[in-house]
Amino acid sequence: MDIQTATALRRLRLVSAPEAVSFLILLLCSVLKRTTDFNAVPVMGAIHGLLFVLYVVFWADAWNRAKWGLKTAALYFVLSVLPTGGFFAERKLRREAEDAVIAARARKEGVVNA
């Protein structure tokens, strides 16, 4: 894996969890707006919208650089629109990064011819 691909995947991973948290907070704010006088939906909507746009931009970059198949790319996109999907995306991306590091070390030590 080259450095640009690793960087694209890292950016996607780093925005996944905050995007999921902002989605959950936005849902909570929506409930509070309808049940109390508290209305933070405009602020949280803007924050979540920005994080979602960043996620989609980083997702497209990662898809392009990592050469994901349609199934993998669709999985990461669907995870972005589920309330807790960002947490699962972050965990899966972290595992892929760890596996890439292990594979790179194995190649360097001559254990694997990959």
pLDDT digits (tens, 9 = 90+) for 8-37: 999 999 999 999 999 999 999 999 999 999
pLDDT one-digit tens code per residue, 71-111: 999 999 999 899 899 999 999 999 988 888 788 788 888 77
Helices (H), 36-84: 41-66, 70-81
pLDDT at 24: 95
pLDDT one-digit tens code per residue, 37-56: 999 999 999 999 999 999 99
Q: Return left, alpha or beta for 41; rule: phi > 0 is left, psi -120 to 50 is alpha, else beta.
A: alpha
pTM metric for this prediction: 0.84
What mean pLDDT is predicted for residues 55-69? 94
Cα torsion through 3, 11, 79, 54, rounded to 10: -130
